Amino acid sequence: MNKHIFTLFVLLTAHCLLSVAQTKSGLDPQRFITTVDGKETKLITLRNGDMEACITNYGARLVSLMVPDKEGKVEDVVLGFDDINAYRLKKQNFGSIVGRYIGRIKGAHFTLDGQEYQLQQTANGNISHGGQPGFSDRVWDIVFYNDSTLRLKYVSPDGENGFPGTLTTFVTYRLTHDLALTVNFEATTDKPTVVNLSNHAFFNISGDPSTPVTNQLLFVDSKYIATYDKEKNLDGNFMRVRNTPFDFRQMKQIGADIDIYDEQMSITRGYDHAFALRHAGKSSKPAAILYDEKSGRQLTVYTTEPAVQVYTANGLNGSMIGKGGIAYQKNAAICLETMHFSDSPNHPEFPSTVLRPGKPYKSHTTYQFSEHIEKKHNLLTSILIYGGAASLTGLGVVGIMSLMK
């Protein structure tokens, strides 16, 4: 074979292999292979129709999610990094599974069945997101995967970061034919413990993370938010959203009221609050709807959880360089974290996060995409108008559960 023809053949072959290896989002799976704590990390690609999801077993993280817009253009709608080393070094929760307990537990302690448990202190005397290392820093075992489904497993030993009980956790990601990503959690324990798991995806459904999400429209099916004290710990109270910047009972721009002075907003410098869902536990009802007018993409969130934490990426400041070399600025994304309330172990009036042997933990969330806004959701948001006082304190279990209805 002619020398030049052979060289061209080799180059073309290498290009074809690289094209096969890379994903629709441009990720190279080879850049996600390393060893952490004696376990190999990988990047798994799921596809179903026009959707593609890339997930690494390091932290069970959603690395990319390709979704079509109204013109059929497929773009990545979640923030993240191009390689495994960036996830390990930059300590950001992009796309990760957070556990054992998402959010803060005040004082890094709780009492269960008369026994007090002292947890690892990671945030000014509290514990945040399950401690360090948390579930987002662990290599999960790959139990099963096919073209559209991935099942991962992590066994958290008794006493990890102070939490009691050996907790065996499964998370299953699945892409469905109707442009949805489902996330299912299952967990069992060998002694009483507390559990609060969630996926921490940073969404920018415009497909362009260099533009802020403040122009996107948001609806949250909630009349109340859980309020913070000045140290950003839940104080056990709930505040009505009516006549506050937190009122998303009708779709409005995320940035419409984000700069209005409000005591709660001043604590978090933007949205970072748990909204008590009106249809808690009913995954057939939309918990939140996000819409981007330019791309036509709509994201509807359904969940069995009692709350959704709305976080507008207030902590990003351009210093973090993400996929494609893009500097992630403040408000470059929005997180819609389906979960129980932070510090529930110290607030018996909150929905319980206690898990006991023989009673499996189960949680289900669906991120449903569509390529245009649906009129029925406009109708839904227009009729969900509530009245009432501006704040609510001192509710018991029955009272708090009733406000979610």
Which residues are identified as catalytic? 200, 337
Instruction: Give SS3 for 229.
Output: coil
User: How far is 250 from 392, CA to CA, in rounded Å?
Assistant: 21
Element (H or E) spanning 111, and its range? strand 109-112
User: How far is 247 from 170, CA to CA, in rounded Å?
Assistant: 35
Residues 6+ apart with CB under 8 A from 65: 51, 52, 53, 54, 76, 77, 78, 181, 201
Measure the CA angle with vertex 362, ends 359 and 363; round to 5°.
Answer: 155
User: How far is 223 from 336, CA to CA, in rounded Å?
Assistant: 16
Name the token pair of 54: 């890339």
Q: Which amino acid is at 41?
A: T
Name the token pair of 242: 């009516």
Contact 300, 373 (CB under 8 A): no
* Residue among 289, 254, 301 at smallest CA distance from 382: 289
> Which DSSP symbol is given to 305?
S
